[in-house]
Amino acid sequence: MQVSKDHPRYHSLVTREMMSDMVKEGIVAPTGLIAHGRGEAFDYLLGEVTSDSARCAERVAVALMLEARNPVISVNGNTAALAGKEVVALSKLVKAKIEVNLFHRSLERMEKVVGHMESLGAKDVLGRHPDAIVPGIASDRAKCTKAGIFSADVVLVPLEDGDRAGALVQLGKKVIAIDLNPLSRTARVAQITIVDEVARAIANMITMWPELSRDEAIRKKIISDFNNRANLTRSLELMCSRLTELADEGKP
Ligand code: PTJ
């Protein structure tokens, strides 16, 4: 479908078309479109820009990945479609492995998502041959690799479901979630929660890398100063105040 550049929701409409094409290609799961719609609604409340609290969590996330022994970025269909390029660039900067991990897992989809990441320049993508299980998860998301998620100390999990995020925390990992919904179980169970759109969040993280990669003292300080609960509250307060402002505009 041709979308006019003058349309006020141009970017959103183009992204929706791309996501729908990615469903046809088998990269995004059909229910991934529903998850995308939910994300759009929360992003609307944030004004579709990165908030100060999200930027703060993004900085801590980069610092944590740089300090990690074995950082891994977990990629599902939506993340591959929306932010595949950004994931590849960030993984190279922070020396993180990329592991594809799917909720709606099939050999065919796994092949397609891994192939998509490789076509964007990712090397040694993990996930095709799982040889470990994250305990306590009922879905196929439990399947992972020993070299990747299973032995990781820090795992970045964009657009996650709460069960696996919780199970990874139980396994002793530091979990960084990217989730536009500050109320989700994932957002509440992760140690670092970035309430921002996935492509925007990872693009920001890339710009933060030069400063943080040079300064170990800053990395350690922002990690130890960070309070995820307080930061999540700031995201909720921002959404509430935007709603109040909009409601006030309509008052006589
Ligand atoms: O590719 P698969 O098979 O692994 O399936 C992936 C989906 C996304 C379908 C699966 O993980 C799923 O159902 O996720 P949920 O439980 O719907 O959670 C997705 C969360 O991500 C929700 O809280 C959304 O608000 C949030 N979200 C959606 N789009 C974005 C987002 N967060 C950041 N950026 C987005 N673009």
pLDDT tens for each residue of the chain, 252 residues long: 677 787 778 888 899 999 999 999 999 999 999 999 999 999 999 999 999 999 999 999 999 999 999 999 999 999 999 999 999 999 999 999 999 999 999 999 999 999 999 999 999 999 999 999 999 998 999 999 999 999 999 999 999 988 999 999 999 999 999 999 999 999 999 999 999 999 999 999 999 999 999 999 999 999 999 999 999 999 999 999 999 988 888 787
The model carries a pTM of: 0.96
14 alpha carbon, distance to own chain's centre? 20
The ligand 1 site (C-beta within 6 Å) comprises: 29, 31-32, 35-36, 38-39, 42, 76-78, 82, 102-104, 159, 161, 178-181, 184, 197-198
Ligand 1 atom closest to Cα of residue 80: 1
Please tell me the distance between residue 78's alpha carbon and the centre of ligand 1 in angstroms.
7
Query: Closest residue (by CA) to atom 19 of ligand 1?
Result: 159
Query: Closest residue (by CA) to atom 7 of ligand 1?
Result: 32
Query: Closest residue (by CA) to atom 11 of ligand 1?
Result: 160
Is there a contact between 152 and 125 (Cβ–Cβ < 8 Å)? no
The pLDDT, as a whole number, for residue 7 is 77
Query: Closest residue (by CA) to atom 31 of ligand 1?
Result: 39
